């Protein structure tokens, strides 16, 4: 049994009187693509936001790579090794594609004010490496030719890749993607699938919220299904697909798959 990279135990979150998350637990193995699915309003994005520090949970334990972490501030979570993308693609629009990824390198680099002013040798070297690393990431996700374009001038599919490249630049232990296939057509989804598989095969761990069930069944190693803020099923796609609670949640009690 491989060790869990991310282990989250019994997260609870209320908004006023509504229990958005009830005792949600999740365990992601290293090197897996782990899917988080469920009907609309099930609490997937809420869980995501709690995990990455955007919301504060009422209770719950979080640990990454065996170490407890407090998701109390977004930037600390990112520094600890969880990089996320956003459902509605949030790029730095006025910056170039390359610069967006370079910002992703920020927490793994050190140049400060003194370095900026004097541009001494180590500073220049770090800047060169940052640029190089960013270019490589752009090539890795397949948009290297757009490096100098303005970020918001890219097509939708390419913007998604840029966001992924930017997240990868932070050298995350866990790449957390919030509905990366939203709004994509069939061929874009296929390309995304290939990219995600490449990322997984290169040893990274991915957590994925997705609505596209076919995509999710196709690439995920493990799935967690949420409904009304609770985990109703957990396991491989095969297991989950035939799970009666899952079928009921998506299709209603009398449906058969």
Partner 1 sequence: MTALTILQNTAPRAKFGLLLFALALLLAPWLVGSAGGNAWVRTLDFAMLYIMLALGLNIVVGYAGLLDMGFIAFYAVGAYLAALLSSPHLLAQFPALAAALPAGMHTPLWLILPLAALLAAGLGILLGAPTLRLRGDYLAIVTLGFGEIIRIFMRNLDRPINLTNGPKGISSVDPVQLFGVNFARTQEIFGLRLPSVYLYYYLFAAAMVVILFACIRLQHSRIGRAWLAIREDEQAAEAMGLNTRNLKLLAFAIGAAFGGVGGALFASFQGFVSPESFSLNESIAVLAMVVLGGMGHIPGVILGCVLLAALPETLRASMGTLQQTLFGQVLVDPEIIRQLFYGLALILAMLYRPAGLWPARTGGAR
Partner 2 sequence: MDTLIQQLLNGLMLGSLYALVALGYTMVYGILRIINFAHGDLLMMGALIGLSIIRLLQSLFPGMPGLLVLLLATLGAMAACAALAVLIERVAYRRLRNAPRLAPLISGIGVSLLLQTVAMLVWSRNPQMFVQLLPLDPIEVTAGDELHAPAITNMTAIVTVGIALSLMAGLLLLVNHTRLGRAMRAVAENPQVASLMGINPNQVIVLTFAIGGALAALAGIMMASNYGSAHFYMGFLPGIKAFTAAVLGGIGNLKGAMLGGILLGLIEALGTGYLGEATGGVFGSSYQDVFAFMVLIAVLVLRPSGLLGERLASRA
Which residues form the interface with partner 2 (CB under 8 A)? 15, 53-56, 71-74
Q: Per rule CB under 8 A, is residue 19 in the interface with partner 1?
A: no
Q: Per rule CB under 8 A, is residue 128 in the interface with partner 1?
A: no
Query: Rounded to an integer, what distance in angstroms lies between the CA atom of residue 67 and that of residue 61?
Result: 11
DSSP, collapsed to helix, strand or coil, labels residue 21 as strand
Residue 36's contacts (CB-CB under 8 Å, 6 or more residues apart) are 26, 44, 47, 48, 207, 208, 209, 210, 223, 224, 226
CB 231 within 8 A of CB 25: yes
Minimum distance between the CB of residue 74 and partner 2, rounded to whole angstroms? 7
Residue 172's contacts (CB-CB under 8 Å, 6 or more residues apart) are 78, 81, 82, 83, 204
Q: Per rule CB under 8 A, is residue 94 in the interface with partner 1?
A: yes
Q: Per rule CB under 8 A, is residue 148 in the interface with partner 1?
A: yes
Pick the binder of partner 1 from 9, 31, 61, 103 (CB under 8 A). Answer: 103
Comparing CB distances to partner 1, the nearer of 86 and 228 is 86
Q: Per rule CB under 8 A, is residue 135 in the interface with partner 1?
A: no
239 phi/psi in degrees, rounded to 5: -60, -45
Length of the chain: 257
Instruction: Give how far the C-alpha of residue 23 lies from the chain's centroid of Cα atoms, to the nearest Å.
Output: 22
User: Which range binds partner 1 by CB under 8 A, 55-63, 143-151, 191-199, 221-229?
Assistant: 143-151
250 binds, among partner 2, partner 1, none (CB under 5 to 8 A by kind): none
Residue in 241, 198, 243 with CA at minimum distance from that of residue 216: 241
56 binds, among partner 1, partner 2, none (CB under 5 to 8 A by kind): partner 2
193 binds, among partner 2, partner 1, none (CB under 5 to 8 A by kind): none
CB 64 within 8 A of CB 81: yes
Cα distances from 3 to residues 6, 32, 104, in angstroms, run 9, 11, 28
Comparing CB distances to partner 1, the nearer of 10 and 90 is 90
What is the sign, positive or negative, of the torsion defined by CA atoms of 14, 10, 60, 204?
A: negative
Contact letters for partner 1, residues 26-55 (x by CB under 8 A): --------------------------x-x-
Q: Per rule CB under 8 A, is residue 145 in the interface with partner 1?
A: no
Q: Per rule CB under 8 A, is residue 106 in the interface with partner 1?
A: yes
Minimum distance between the CB of residue 166 and partner 1, rounded to whole angstroms? 7
Instruction: Give how far the C-alpha of residue 84 lies from the chain's centroid of Cα atoms, to the nearest Å.
Output: 4
Which residue ranges make up the site for partner 1 (CB under 8 A)?
52, 54, 73-75, 78-79, 83-84, 86, 90-96, 99, 102-104, 106-107, 109, 111-113, 115-117, 119, 126-127, 130, 148-150, 152-153, 166-167, 169-170
């Amino acid at each position: 049994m491989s060790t869990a990279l991310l282990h989250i135990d019994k997260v609870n979150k209320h908004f006023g009187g509504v229990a958005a998350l009830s005792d949600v637990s999740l365990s992601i193995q290293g090197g897996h693509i782990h899917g988080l699915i469920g009907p609309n309003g099930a609490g997937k994005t809420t869980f995501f936001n709690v995990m990455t520090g955007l919301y504060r949970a009422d209770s719950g334990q979080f640990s990454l790579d065996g170490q407890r972490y407090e998701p109390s501030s977004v930037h600390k979570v990112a520094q600890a090794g969880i990089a996320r993308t956003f459902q509605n693609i949030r790029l730095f629009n006025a910056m170039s594609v390359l610069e967006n990824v370079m910002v992703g390198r920020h927490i793994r680099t050190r140049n400060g004010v003194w370095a900026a002013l004097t541009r001494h040798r180590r500073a220049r070297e770090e800047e060169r490496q940052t640029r190089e690393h960013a270019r490589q990431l752009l090539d890795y996700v397949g948009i290297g030719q757009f490096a100098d374009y303005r970020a918001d001038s890219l097509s939708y599919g390419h913007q998604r890749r840029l966001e992924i490249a930017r997240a990868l630049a932070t050298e995350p232990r866990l790449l957390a993607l919030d509905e990366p296939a939203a709004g994509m057509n069939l061929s874009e989804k296929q390309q995304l699938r290939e990219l995600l598989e490449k990322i997984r095969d290169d040893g990274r761990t991915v957590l994925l919220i997705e609505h596209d069930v076919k995509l999710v069944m196709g690439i995920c190693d493990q799935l967690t299904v949420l409904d009304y803020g609770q985990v109703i099923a957990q396991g491989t796609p095969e297991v989950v697909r035939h799970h009666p609670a899952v079928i009921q949640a998506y299709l209603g009690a009398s449906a058969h798959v």
